[in-house]
Amino acid sequence: MYDYSQWNHIFKLDPNKEISDDELEKICESGTDAILVGGTDDVTLDATISLLVRIRRYAVPCILEVSNLEAVTPGYDFYFIPTVLNSNDPKWIIGMHQQAMKEFAHLVHAEELVMEGYCILNEDCKAAKLTSAVTDLSIEDIVAYAEVSEQLLKLPIFYLEYSGTYGSPQVVEEVSTVLNNTKLFYGGGISSAQQAIEMKQFADTIVVGNIIYDNLQEALLTVKAVKEGATK
Amino acid sequence: MYDYSQWNHIFKLDPNKEISDDELEKICESGTDAILVGGTDDVTLDATISLLVRIRRYAVPCILEVSNLEAVTPGYDFYFIPTVLNSNDPKWIIGMHQQAMKEFAHLVHAEELVMEGYCILNEDCKAAKLTSAVTDLSIEDIVAYAEVSEQLLKLPIFYLEYSGTYGSPQVVEEVSTVLNNTKLFYGGGISSAQQAIEMKQFADTIVVGNIIYDNLQEALLTVKAVKEGATK
C-alpha cells in the first residue's frame, strides 16, 4: 500500500479533458508522487475507467477523487472522498457519502477510502457553486475548519481548494501552523514552478491541475521544483 | 487516560435535573464505567461545573457531552462531541464544531475530544427537533450512516439515540453487524435490567439516563445486569 502522507506533489487529471498518450506519458513519468483523477463537471464512468486504464501502463499511484457516485469504478489505488466542510448543504458534507455506502459499502476496502476535509475558497469556481460552499470566510474561520479536521474528525487530509485561481499563501501558512497529524493539501491555480515552491513551503502536498492542459512544460517543471525543495 | 472503548455501561446525568447527594453517590459507586453529563435543554455553565464538582468526589470517569458551547468547562476526563449525521442542518453536523474551535481550540487537548456520530431516531424527542434530524429512515439508511462512521469518518463512536423512547433491538443488531472498529453506543428509554441486557447484546455500550430520575433502584440494576453479561 502506498503512503499518501509522504506525497509532496500530485498531478490532477480531469476525465473530461483530452490528453494525448505522449502527454500522459510525460505526466506519469514526471516523478510526481501520484495521479489524482477527478473533476467537477459530470464525470462519467466511461471517462474514469478509460483514464484509469491509460494511467495503469505506468508505475505511478493512481487515485480517484469521487465527486459523483456514477463514476466510481474498482481498480484505483485509493478513493479520496471529499467532505465539503464549508458547504451549506448537508448532502455535500455527509449525505452523498451515506448514499454511497448504501450502494458501494461491500465493494470497497475501508483502507482504500481516504476522507478529505475540503474547504473551497474560490467563490467563482464550479465546485463552490455546485456544493453551495460558503466562501466568505475569515482566516480564523478557515483555520477553525482545519482544527475541526485535525482535532475532532481526525481526518487524514485537509484540502484548501482554490480551484481555478491561485490562492493566498498567507492562508496556507496560517492553516499549516495548526496541523500536525492531518496533512495539508493545496490545490488551485498553480501555473509555474515558482508558485509550486511558494505553496509547498506551507502545504504538505500541492496538487497541480489545469496547467497540465495549458502549458505541459511548465507543469512538468513544478515536479522538479517541489522535489528539489522537498529534499533540501 | 481511561479507555472508553472498553466501557459497557454509562449513566447519563442531565445537569438540569435535580439529584440528591445520596442518589449521586449510589450512581457514581454503582460500578458503571462512566458518568456522561449532558442534556438538550439549555444547559448552563453553572450546571455543568456544579455537577462536575459533585461527581469528582468519586473515582468514576466523568465526561461532558457537549451540546452547547456556553456550557463547556475544563476538568472533565473527556469531551464527547456529537455530530448529528442525520441532521438536515449543517450547523449540527460541522458548523457548531467549527465555531467551537474558534473559541476553544487552545483550551483543550485533542486526545480529550471524542467525536460521536449521532443518529437520532425518535422523531418526537427534543434533540431531533432541535437538530432538524431526519428520522424517517429505513434500516438500510441507518446502517449506511454507521458505515460512513466506520469506513469514511473512522469515528470512535456511533451513537444510536432514541432519546426518551425504547428503540428497536433489530436496528441495533443490524447496525452492530457493520461495525468493527467504531464502537456502537445505544441510548434511549432503557428502564429495566431486561432492556439493558437486550440492547447490550448488540451495542458495545449502553447509556442509561431518564430512569435514574424515575426509578433509581431499577437504574442501579442495569449496571449489574450489563456487567454480568459482559463477563460471560
**Known binding-site positions of B for sn-glycerol 1-phosphate:** 12, 159-164, 189, 209-210
Of B93, B150, B151, the CB nearest to A94: B93
Residue bearing the bigger pLDDT, B232 or A137: A137
Q: What's the rounded mean pLDDT across residues B132-157? A: 96
Q: How far apart are CA B15 and CA A231, in angstroms?
A: 55
The closest alpha carbon to A197, from A163, A162, A160, A172, belongs to A172
**A63 secondary structure, DSSP code:** E
3-state secondary structure of B157: strand
A148 and B CB contact within 8 Å: yes
**Nearest 10 degrees: CA dihedral of B27, B29, B33, B37?**
40
Task: Dig out the grid coordinates for B125 from the structure.
Answer: 424527542
Q: Are B70 and B106 in contact (CB under 8 A)?
A: no
> Which amino acid does the sequence have at B177?
T
Beta strands in chain A (DSSP E): 9-13, 34-37, 62-65, 78-84, 113-120, 157-161, 183-187, 205-208
Yes or no: say if B188 and B166 are a contact pair by the CB < 8 Å rule: yes
pLDDT at position B60 is 97
Q: Buried b / exposed e across B17-35, counting CB within 10 Å, b at 16+?
A: eebeeeebebbbebebbbb
- Asked if A162 reaches chain B (Cβ–Cβ under 8 Å), the answer is no
| pTM recorded for the entire structure | 0.94
B187-204 tens-digit pLDDT: 999 999 999 999 999 999
Query: What integer is the mean pLDDT of B76-97?
Result: 95
Chain B contact present for A27, CB below 8 A: no
Tens-digit pLDDT profile for residues B160-170: 999 999 999 99
Q: Which residues of B77-96 are buried (b: 16+ CB within 10 A; e: fewer)?
A: bbbbbbbbbbbeebbbbbbb
**Predicted confidence pLDDT, tens digits, chain A (232 residues):** 799 999 999 999 999 999 999 999 999 999 999 999 998 778 889 999 999 999 999 999 999 999 888 888 889 999 999 999 999 999 999 999 999 898 877 777 888 999 999 999 999 999 999 999 999 999 999 999 999 999 999 999 999 999 999 999 999 999 999 999 999 999 999 999 999 999 999 999 999 999 999 999 999 999 999 998 765 5
Give the residues across from B185 on adjacent strands: B159, B205
Contacts of A150 in chain B (CB under 8 A): 110
Q: How far is CA B56 from the centre of its chain?
A: 19
Neighbours of A108 (CB within 10 A): 16
Which grid coordinates belong to B110? 485533542
State the amino acid at position B71 in one-letter form.
A
pLDDT at A90: 96
Which residue among B81, B88, B89 sits closest to A152, beta carbon to beta carbon? B81
What is the per-residue pLDDT for A155? 96
Neighbouring residues of B153: CB distance < 8 A, sequence distance ≥ 6: A115, A153, A155, B115, B117
CA nearest neighbour of B166 among B187, B152, B181, B149: B187
* pLDDT at B103 (0 to 100): 85
- Give the pLDDT score at B108: 75
pLDDT value at residue B67: 86
Angle at B116 between CA B79 and CA A95, to 5 degrees: 140
Residue of A nearest to B110 (CA): A151
For residues B77-86, average pLDDT: 96
Q: Does A144 touch chain B (CB under 8 A)?
A: yes
Q: Are residues A199 and A190 in contact, defined by beta-carbon separation less than 8 angstroms?
A: yes
